[in-house]
Amino acid sequence: MIDQLLLNNRRWAATVKQENPNFFIELSKQQTPKFFWIGCCDSRVPANQIIGLMPGEVFVHRNIANIVNNADINCISALQYAVDVLKVRHVILCGHYGCGGVEAAIHGEGHDIIDYWIWDIKAILTRHEKLLSQISPDAVSHFMCEVNVIEQTYELCRTKVIREAWQREQPVSVHGWVYGIHDGLLQEVIPHVNHQTDIEQMYDAALTAVSQKYLSQP
């Protein structure tokens, strides 16, 4: 089974080279991606494939439940490299419906170290306790996956890296999306935040929209 992966690789590299003989040579000299993707580890949400981009076009960081935490040196280092060095124009925070990390937080399932990792999501659940009590139990998972996108995008906008980029007027937009593993489609939860002063308004608008969407469901 594992040998198949190496065979797949040979075939893929040959196909790419057939279309553009210099593809890998050109790419090996430098990377100039315009996008930075922060997504979930889930195998069903592969960044490049779902947004139709080739190697070299998107810088990627993935962790369980697409969490942005200032104390996470891994995520913040990737963000800093993407924004300060690669000078990406867009940072996309992408969650997905049916996220195991979000659902583990909802159901309080214990998985030792993962429990610590999803602590931030448990805090989000507590923050929106009142709203959650009004959502139909069937819709709680979808609702929370979207709320998690809003909260993590908010945290992303408040990182030192993004704030300083905006302060020096570097053009960088932050986006919050959710992906449907059931239909392969992306939806905007937060269309874009381009400036420090827009954060609160975008957060409130997105939370209101998501609340209305799920509160109106029977």
Write out the residues near Co ion by the rule CB under 5 A. 40, 42, 99
Which CB atom, from 83 or from 145, has the smaller least distance to Co ion? Answer: 145
Least distance in Å: CB of 147 to Co ion? Answer: 14
Whether residue 111 lies in the annotated active site: no
Q: Of 40, 75, 94, 157, which one is the catalytic site residue?
A: 40
Strand pairing class (186-193; 173-179):
antiparallel
Q: How far apart are CA 109 and CA 198, in angstroms?
A: 36
Q: Of 61, 75, 94, 96, which one is the catalytic site residue?
A: 96
Whether residue 112 lies in the annotated active site: no
Least distance in Å: CB of 145 to Co ion? Answer: 8
Which CB atom, from 40 or from 172, has the smaller least distance to Co ion? Answer: 40
Which CB atom, from 65 or from 206, has the smaller least distance to Co ion? Answer: 65
Whether residue 44 lies in the annotated active site: yes
Q: What number of other Cβ atoms are within 10 A of residue 163's Cβ?
A: 12
Q: How far apart are CA 72 and CA 87, in angstroms?
A: 21
Continuous H helices in 108-198 = 113-117, 119-127, 129-132, 140-157, 160-167
Contact 123, 144 (CB under 8 A): no
Q: Of 75, 94, 99, 145, which one is the catalytic site residue?
A: 99
Which residues belong to the active site?
40, 42, 44, 96, 99
